[in-house]
Chain A
Amino acid sequence: MKFSEEFEARFAEMVPHYPTKRSALVPTLLYAQDEVGFLSDEVIAELAGRLDLTELEVRNVISYYSMLTTKPRGKFNLQVCTNISCLVRGGEEILQHCAKKLGVGHKGTTPDGLFTLEEVECIGACSWAPAAQVNYDFHENLTTEKMDRVLDKCLAQAQEQLQRIKSVDSLADTLSQRSEG
């Protein structure tokens, strides 16, 4: 299976940092997941092979870590903290607001595949609570209005990408029509 050049460079650099190959496993799994979207059977088999592990050993590790997933998630993984510092500053209202707006519950993904919602434990933003992460980006001192703006931005970003794909597609169509004609 093929990963990006960046992944390969990182992997090649990282493995010699440890006396045992498998030590590179946890960060490697996260980088692989970031590229593929989730830890597919193919990814697991590939990394198990590279690190001299069985697939079962890799699955065992995956199931321990909350950020790792073997199921596809939305393009935007919306992680709302409701732990203590966020709780006392309205973290639950933020979570409920997102659930209503997106029409999904904890670990649910919207039908268009854009958003996955997750209630998470403390993300280290307690002094700027309530807080959430969209993928790796922090959003802090949230209000429901601020959360709406964050979600709108995600939507706009997705639409812009879609537009770009569409224009590439139509360009491809035009080109192929020309070569046919």
Chain B
Amino acid sequence: MASLVSHPDEVKVVTRRFGLGATNIDRYLELDGYKAVQKALGMDADAIINEVKNSGLRGRGGAGFSTGMKWSFVPKQSAKPKYVLCNGDESEPGTCKDRLIFEHDPHAVIEGVMIGGLAVGARSGYIYIRGEYRYLSIIMQKAIRDAYAKGFLGKNIFGSGRDFDIYWHGGAGAYEVGEESALMESLEGKRGIPRIRPPFPAVVGLWGGPTVINNAETLASVPHIMLGGAEWYAKIGPPKNGGTRLFCLSGNVAKPGVYELPMGYSLKKMIYEVGGGIPNGRSLKAVVPGGSSTPCLTADEIDINMDFDSVAKAGSMLGSGGVVVLDDQQCIVKFALRTMKFYQHESCGWCIPCREGTDWLKKTLIRFHSGGGVKKDIDNMQYLSENMLGRTFCPLGDAAAMPTIAFVKKFRKEFEDHLDGRPCPYEKAGVAEEMEALSH
């Protein structure tokens, strides 16, 4: 349903089957489907893990942790069943890529879960899809049924003597449930309150069993690595940042869309060439490079390569692949406010710095944006955000604080322009009040 785009610089790995009808299992088989898992069945677990390690594949959910490494943490022996859990909660603002994978290539996710299962010695996996994605749940449920019907799932898969089951699971609206430990709580039928770590999910996860949790894009990349080889995949990107990435280009660009580009692609080129630049004769003000949780970059800071390490070096994060572009008519205070409203709404309320901090920041930003700010607020917002960092049970507190610190530090002048009762320079009179009356 969502429209596809393409650009000559794209390297189609995960998106290779998009638009080719691969939701149909026979078509998927024609397009090299289920070959990777059969190859994996002939390998021993350590060899699979090594292949994934050597490919340089890092988690596409946000943190960018080495997938092979994560798999190697799962104990070989376990009294309790082990599980693979695919994270398809996709709720980080600016991110809309897992949706396309489920829509166009659901069997690749299934295959990725199976290969993950073979690597860690699990016999079952769950594919968790956010509740809003009902049409994708229907596609995925059918894909799973078709795989069972062919004997690819269930008992004695591909005549290997091994069993593997995959089940669909659905959410019902909650960003926090995308956090790995909250995801497990949700799957167990509870509120999405995170768990204290350690123990880590790889050791104590779903129903107490060792659990590997990976993002849908991460898992959909795995079959391609098994078939193309670690070396091929690693070489697509710079060292330690293997492969491609689905970049969700959104905001004020001429050609928004989800583009699969090699890891390490230039952000500047992504905006001006792939995305066609900033429309309406406007200029670039800022970019949020990896979803709403990542600190923004100014127009002067976009000469960087989009891989985990380069973006980290530039003081931000590659995150979830959501690249949100802001033109010169966007108000940073307003943008910061909308970002904070989101985190305040989604905070599970367990930790005081997150629950109270996001609420206080939201209220301050609302007052500030509508002209009721005082100079001291600017430093206070920064101070408060800095003191949330690292003081919460899950990273949502940091995710709220980090972008706020960057907005205040990098766009202080814009905050100052709202002082002394001055109306927002970017908004028509009365619109802010109208929105506040309407908003949640």
Contacts and interface: CB of A to CB of B under 8 A. Distances in A.
Q: Do A and B bind each other?
A: yes
Contacts of B90: 124
B54 to A, nearest CB: 32
B131 A124 contact: no
Interface string B161-182: 0000001011111110000000
A121 B345 contact: yes
Interface in A97-114: 99, 105-107
Given A26-B171, A122-B93, A124-B99, A87 B2 contact: no
B408 interface: no
A136 B91 CA distance: 16
B250 A127 contact: yes
A34 B353 CA distance: 36
Interface string B88-110: 00111111101100000000000
Contact of A121 (B91, B187, B248): B91
A133 B132 contact: yes
A40 interface: no
B132 A123 contact: yes
B438 A95 contact: yes
B435 A96 contact: yes
A83 B338 contact: yes
A117 B251 CA distance: 24
A126 B188 contact: no
B440 interface: yes
A84 B249 contact: no
Closest 8 CB pairs of A and B: A67-B173, A25-B189, A66-B173, A22-B189, A65-B172, A27-B170, A136-B134, A85-B250
Interface of B: 1-3, 81, 90-96, 98-99, 130-135, 167, 169-175, 186-192, 207, 248-252, 256-258, 288, 292, 322, 324-327, 330, 334-335, 338-339, 342, 345-346, 348, 431, 434-435, 437-440
Given A60-B191, A121-B91, A84 B132 contact: no
Given A126-B250, A129-B256, 8 more contacts: A30-B172, A95-B435, A106-B439, A121-B175, A122-B92, A124-B90, A124-B95, A127-B248
A23 interface: yes
Contact of B93 (A23, A68, A85, A133): A85
Interface in A47-94: 51, 60-61, 64-68, 82-85, 87-89, 92
Given A22-B188, A119-B438, A129-B250, A88 B330 contact: yes
A121 B440 CA distance: 10
A13 to B, nearest CB: 10
Given A124-B95, A127-B248, A128-B256, A26 B172 contact: yes
Contacts of A66: 172-174
Interface of A: 17-20, 22-27, 29-30, 51, 60-61, 64-68, 82-85, 87-89, 92, 95-96, 99, 105-107, 119, 121-129, 133, 136, 138, 140
A107 to B, nearest CB: 7
21 contacts: A17-B167, A24-B189, A25-B189, A26-B186, A27-B170, A51-B189, A61-B189, A66-B174, A67-B131, A84-B335, A85-B251, A88-B330, A107-B440, A119-B439, A124-B99, A124-B133, A127-B96, A127-B249, A128-B256, A136-B135, A138-B1
A87 B438 contact: no
Contacts of B2: 125, 127-128, 138, 140
Nearest to A105: B438
A122 B172 contact: no
Nearest to A106: B440
Nearest to A24: B189
Contact of A84 (B81, B169, B292, B438): B292
A128 B251 CA distance: 9
B134 A84 contact: no
B426 to A, nearest CB: 11
